[in-house]
Every structure is written in structure tokens, then in C-alpha cells.
Amino acid sequence: MPTEELLKFAPRPTGAGEMFQMLRDGQPRTRADLAAVTGQARSTIAARIDLLMSAGLIAPAGEASSTGGRPPATFAFNPSAKIVLAVDLGATHAHLAVTDLSSHVLVEREEAIAIADGPEAVLGWVIRCADELIAAIGRTHADLVSVGVGLPGPVEHSTGRPINPPIMPSWDDADVPTILSRHFDAAVLVDNDVNIMALGEHRTAWPQVDDLLFVKVATGIGAGVISDGQLRRGARGAAGDIGHVATATGSQVQCRCGNTGCLEAVASGQAIAAALREVGLEAQTSADVVDLVRAGDLVASHAVRQAGRDIGSVLASCVSLLNPSMIVIGGVVADAGEHLLAGIREIVYQRSLPLATQDLRIVTSQTRRRAGVLGASAMAVDHVLSPAAIDALIV
Ligand SMILES: [Zn+2]
């Protein structure tokens, strides 16, 4: 076999960026540990450690225990080296957080906003608020390496632009990354809110689960797909948009997308509230629905359970397609608790093959209201700490 062919099968040499990925778990390691794992010379490892130390990305972490002689020094990830800004924008609500490089929240703020006010007004507010938060923890723009943003509509991930977003028409094709990077002088990543919630929930609560479906049930309904441990966005970023899948009930309820009988039109918080108003109950929002269920209202509980069944019928198809081992239900309506889950479980277990449901768990979100900012932070951190980004930073 020619040498070139042989080289293809040789272990790929790991650069400093790739070696750094091993340290992101926060565990202290010695030079010998890293040499053993990478199969590289101690001198190479030592040089890379020096580079990562001078960039502030790793720091000495004490001495390893030794059976004799001088104990070797250990090194660990230094997540406080830099900060990222995490922005979770909803239709009527915004959540901002500044985190360190392990997505630990350092400071956060939640406020009511109207996304319909448009990108200039809303992003102007984000900038003012972020500057206050960064100053409040004694950091500056020089410490900020990236910004992650979640928007409540379809986002073309490659460009970070919202595309025909139904609840935020004035944002169509808005260049969110350019508007924000001009002010912060940092990389800006944008995704839809459900994708970042899926990422936040997965990284924080279920990092060991490789195949997970996160479903947000709120004013709208959407899903984020984690497959083989990775967030899957599809060709253009629209994967998981299950809110506009036709439900099996044949409902003629009009959906805001123009079609009829969409899952969102029959089972979202808005849809449940509308159904409850028709029978004389006071319910305007998803939160009102949850309040009624928590107060023990039987009609509201029944409506939420039925919404769960409708969602379950769509999720049964998702289970057949993706075979997740966990479905996590988040969003405001998930606060209605067991009634929603019971409806979803009833149909998913009934309509999926036993092999697909054998180990399937259906649970409510652990990260709850923080899912969005945790995911926005994870997306922003992944971008700046990728092997390629680290190699570019320290050469
Ligand atoms: Zn629709």
C-alpha cells in the first residue's frame, strides 16, 4: 500500500484544540495522563499545555497523588477565563444570562417584552440590558467571547436570520448576528428557541442520553431533536417543527400558518385556553390554563389531558422515526404536570412498536425556565471552544 494510503489509517494527530476538548469536563489531569490518552510525546503535550495556559483556558489544579518522588502537577479547564451572553427571546418574555465557559449562570434577568416591536427595539433593549449585567459582575466586553440567541420562530441556522416567522413578521430576514456583533465585537449564534431549549436540557440534565426529543408546549408547539448526542437542525434549520403537523382528529380549526387542524391549533396553550373560554372559563394564556388545572378544575384538567393525547399522536410518529430513549416535555403547559404527561404517554405507548418504547421515558423538563439560556450559552460556548477555534486562537 502506498504511504499516502497508510497515512489515512494512522491515528490522527491531536492538536491543542482537540486535546483541550478532553479537559472541558473540568477534571484535573497530569501531562502523563494527556500523553497516555493522545499517544503523543510528553514534550508535545507540555508545549500545548503552555499555550493553553497562556490563553488562560486552563490553569494549574494542584498536584496529583504520588506513590513516591515529586508528585506531578495537574491542569484543569478554567471556565472563568471568559464569559458568554445567553439570550432567550419569547413572544412576550425575555431571559438574559451571562455565563462562564461551562455555562454556569453568573447573572441573569427576566423581563416582559413584545417581540412584535421588531428587531431594532428588542435588540436595542437586549444590548442595554446585557451591558448592565456584564458591568454588574465586574466584567467588560473584552471578556465576552460569544453570544447565543434563541428566537421564537424558524431560523436559518447558517445565517442566523429568522425566515417568515409567524409571530414576529417584522423580523423576517433580520440580520441578528450583524446587529449584535457590531456592538459586542463577538461571534453571534442564533437558533430557534426550541432548539436551544433542547440543547440546554440535554447538556444540563441528561448529558448521558444520546437520543432525546425535547418538546415545548406553550403558545406554540415545537420539538428539538438530539440524535447520537448532537442537536439535529436538518437541512435549513427547520427540523422538529411539529406544531404544524396535521393531527389525526381531522379538526378544521384554523391555524395561524394558514392550514387547518395543525397540532398547534388544537393542543397549544392558546388552543386549550380558547376551548376553555368556549365553555365559560376565564383563560387567556397558557399560564391561565395551568392555574385552572392546579386549582383542581376538572374541565381544564380534561382539556389538558386531551391536548396531551393529540401531542402524543404526533410524538408516536416521531418515536417511530427517531427511536429516542427519552422525551422531555417543557414549556409553560408542562407545568400542568401529570395531566399532560398522562395524555402523551397513553397514545405514545399505544401507537409505537414495543421495541421503540421498551426503554422510552417521558418526563417533564428539569431545567424549566432556564432551558433556553442554558442552551443559548452552550451553543455560544461550543462555537468558541471548538478544536478549530482553539487552534486558531493559540497559534
Ligand atoms: Zn399550522
246 Cα: distance to centroid of ligand 1 (angstroms): 8
Residues paired with residue 87 on neighbouring β-strands, in sequence order: 96, 149
Angle between helices 42-54 and 387-394 (to 10 degrees): 80
Bridge-based pairing of strands 73-77 and 29-30 is antiparallel
Architecture per CATH, domain 82-197+372-393, reads as 2-Layer Sandwich (3.30)
Note the CATH number of domain 3-79: 1.10.10.10
Judged on CB neighbours under 10 Å (0-12, 13-18, 19+), 107 is middle
- 319 CA distance to ligand 1 centroid (A)? 21
Q: What is the pLDDT at residue 38?
A: 87
Q: What is residue 240's predicted lDDT score, i.e. its pLDDT?
A: 95
Please choose, from the candidates 310, 229, 305, the residue with its C-alpha nearest in 3D space to the C-alpha of residue 266. 310
Instruction: Output the CA 218–ligand 1 centroid distance in Å.
Output: 14
The Cα–Cα gap between 103 and 25 comes to 12
Pick the CATH number of 207-365 from 2.40.50.140, 3.60.150.10, 3.30.420.40, 1.10.760.10: 3.30.420.40
pLDDT reported for residue 15: 83
Domain definitions of the chain by residue range? 3-79, 82-197+372-393, 207-365
Q: Angle at CA 376, nearest 5°, toward 373 and 382? A: 135
Question: Residue 255 C-alpha to ligand 1 middle, in angstroms?
Answer: 5
- Interval between CA 14 and ligand 1 midpoint (Å): 47
Determine the distance separating the centroid of ligand 1 and the alpha carbon of 219, expressed in angstroms.
13
Q: pLDDT tens string for the chain (395 positions)?
A: 455 554 444 444 568 898 999 999 999 999 999 999 888 899 999 999 999 999 999 999 988 877 778 888 999 999 999 999 999 999 889 999 999 999 999 999 999 999 999 999 999 999 999 999 999 999 999 999 999 999 998 999 889 999 988 888 899 999 999 999 999 999 999 999 999 999 999 999 999 999 999 999 998 899 999 999 999 999 988 899 999 999 977 778 999 888 999 999 999 999 999 999 999 999 999 999 999 999 999 999 999 999 999 999 999 999 999 999 999 999 999 999 899 999 999 999 999 888 888 899 999 999 999 999 999 999 999 999 999 999 888 76
Cα(200) to centroid of ligand 1, in Å?
A: 26
Indicate yes or no: pTM above 0.75.
Answer: yes
3-79 and 207-365: identical CATH topology? no
Q: Coil, strand, or helix at residue 127?
A: helix
345 C-alpha to ligand 1 centroid (Å): 23
Contact between 309 and 266 under an 8 Å Cβ cutoff? The reply is no
pLDDT of residue 2: 52
Nearest to 200 by CA among 277, 97, 129: 97
Amino acid letter, 60:
P
Distance (Å) from CA 139 to ligand 1 centroid: 44
Q: Give the SS3 label for residue 209.
A: coil
